């Protein structure tokens, strides 16, 4: 049976793109076309190169899972958590991607058969099956990309990149633009950028992070060393769960990149203990920047 590498690459690229998109949506991760395309190209190259391998099936499955993990690292921006949590998250993404790919692969095989790519269980001589599968794969990527854009516009969901810098360290987070974030520092009037304590762990001073996550935020903040106490604020917050306090922290710099431009803002950072971030995002922009 003759295998055309370019056709195989295109079909696998398309299948991987759709699989990555579905996986990202299921995991509520921010999706970027270029990152999805790069990860899909990696997966397609792996599929083509695998033609020249002669290894046992268990080893092939293990290699495929490993490549799935690498593709997830390419496709989705990693939340800045601990190394162990990140490894577990990547492994979960890889397993989900592998499962979605298997399901879509079965559907593509059925479509290939409808295109008469097989005859009596053997490869047929016609190219109708290959042409059908290639056309369907290309159409699937187009429909997926367009549907994603339409859905995003309908939801009105926007996002930006936020870089926090403090003490010579920095971390970049995907931030959700939410016009409902009206939190601000009542003393200075500065708007507040809400960040997940887990996502910003690499840049937050340890004592400030511990104070923000404690049950008694006010008491823990008062016990901070003088050099840190002057940099924090208590921010009253009210939501559907009731009223409370968030610990506000002033880092050395907050840079926001959105709409093709990058600018530094004078914001206070409100540290939230919400697990898993905010729908796949590590931060929430204040209303005036949304």
Of the residues 155, 176, 208, the one at which a domain ends: 155
Mean pLDDT of the chain: 78
Counting the structural domains of the chain, the total is 2
Shared domain check, 227 and 103: no
CA distances from 249 to 42, 46, 170, 198, 199 (A): 41, 46, 15, 15, 15
Query: Taking a C-beta distance cutoff of 8 angstroms, is the pair 21, 36 a contact?
Result: yes
Separation of alpha carbons 234 and 218, rounded Å = 7
Last residue of some domain: 92, 122, 155?
155
What letters, b where the CB count within 10 A reaches 16 and e where it falls short, cover 87-119?
eebbeebbebbbebbeebeeebeebbeebebee
Find out whether 121 and 132 touch, Cβ atoms under 8 Å: no
Q: How confident is the model at residue 74 (pLDDT cuts 50, 70, 90)?
A: confident
Q: Are residues 36 and 62 in the same domain?
A: yes
pLDDT of residue 124: 42
Tokens at residue 91, please?
């492994």
Pair (271, 191) in one structural domain: yes
Shared domain for 194 and 128, answered yes or no, is: no
CATH number of domain containing 216: 2.40.70
Name the more confident of 194 and 129.
194
pLDDT number for residue 203: 92
Return d(Cα 89, Cα 112) in angstroms, integer. 34
Structure-model confidence comparison of residues 83 and 280, the more confident one: 280
Which range has the worst mean pLDDT, 52-66, 70-84, 177-191? 70-84
- For residue 116, pLDDT over 50 is answered with no
Q: What is the pLDDT of residue 122?
A: 42
The first and second tokens of residue 66, run together, are: 């490993």
Q: Distance (Å, rounded) from C-alpha 243 to C-alpha 274?
A: 15
Alpha helices in 50-127, H assignment, sequence order = 57-75, 83-114
pLDDT at 81: 47
80 — pLDDT class (breaks 50, 70, 90): very low
Same structural domain, 12 and 148:
yes
Residue 185 and residue 97 share a domain: no
Give the least confident one: 68-77, 103-112, 160-169. Answer: 103-112
pLDDT at 132 over 90: no
| Residue 116 shares a structural domain with residue 40 | yes
Question: Which of 155, 177, 201 is the last residue before a domain boundary?
Answer: 155
Q: Once rounded to an integer, what is the mean pLDDT over residues 12-40?
A: 83
pTM of the model: 0.50
Whether residues 205 and 275 share a domain: the answer is yes
Domain match, 186 and 126 both: no
CA distance 143 to 147: 6
> Domain range for residue 283?
158-289
Confidence of residue 125 (pLDDT cuts 50, 70, 90): very low
pLDDT value for 163: 94
Are 213 and 110 found together in one domain?
A: no
The predicted structure's pLDDT at residue 117: 44
182 against 124, higher pLDDT: 182
**167 and 142: one domain?**
no
Strands, E assignment, 105-191: 118-119, 122-123, 158-166, 169-177
At residue 279 the predicted structure's pLDDT band, cuts being 50, 70 and 90, is confident
pLDDT at 91 over 50: yes
One domain for residues 244 and 224: yes
């Amino acid at each position: 049976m003759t295998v055309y590498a370019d056709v195989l690459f295109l079909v696998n690229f398309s299948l991987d793109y759709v699989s990555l998109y579905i996986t990202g949506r299921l995991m509520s991760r921010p999706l970027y076309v270029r990152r999805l395309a790069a990860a899909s190209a990696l997966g397609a190259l792996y599929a083509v190169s695998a033609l020249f391998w002669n290894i046992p099936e268990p080893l092939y499955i293990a290699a495929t899972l490993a490549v799935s993990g690498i593709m997830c690292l390419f496709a989705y921006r990693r939340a800045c958590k601990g190394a162990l949590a990140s490894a577990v998250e990547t492994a979960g993404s890889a397993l989900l991607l592998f499962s979605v790919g298997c399901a879509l692969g079965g559907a593509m095989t059925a479509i290939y058969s409808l295109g008469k790519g097989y005859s009596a269980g053997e490869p047929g001589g016609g190219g109708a099956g290959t042409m059908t599968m290639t056309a369907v794969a290309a159409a699937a990527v187009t429909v997926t990309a367009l549907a994603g854009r339409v859905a995003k516009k309908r939801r009105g969901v926007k996002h930006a990149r936020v870089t926090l810098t403090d003490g010579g360290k920095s971390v970049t987070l995907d931030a959700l633009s939410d016009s409902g974030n009206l939190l601000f520092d009542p003393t200075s009037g500065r708007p507040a950028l809400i960040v997940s304590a887990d996502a910003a762990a690499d840049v937050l001073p340890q004592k400030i992070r511990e104070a923000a996550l404690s049950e008694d935020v006010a008491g823990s903040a008062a016990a901070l060393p003088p050099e840190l106490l002057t940099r924090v604020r208590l921010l009253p917050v009210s939501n559907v769960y009731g009223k409370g306090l968030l610990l506000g922290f002033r880092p050395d710099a907050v840079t926001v990149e959105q709409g093709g431009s990058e600018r530094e803002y004078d914001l206070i950072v409100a540290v939230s203990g919400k697990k898993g971030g905010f729908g796949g995002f590590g931060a929430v922009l204040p209303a005036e920047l949304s």
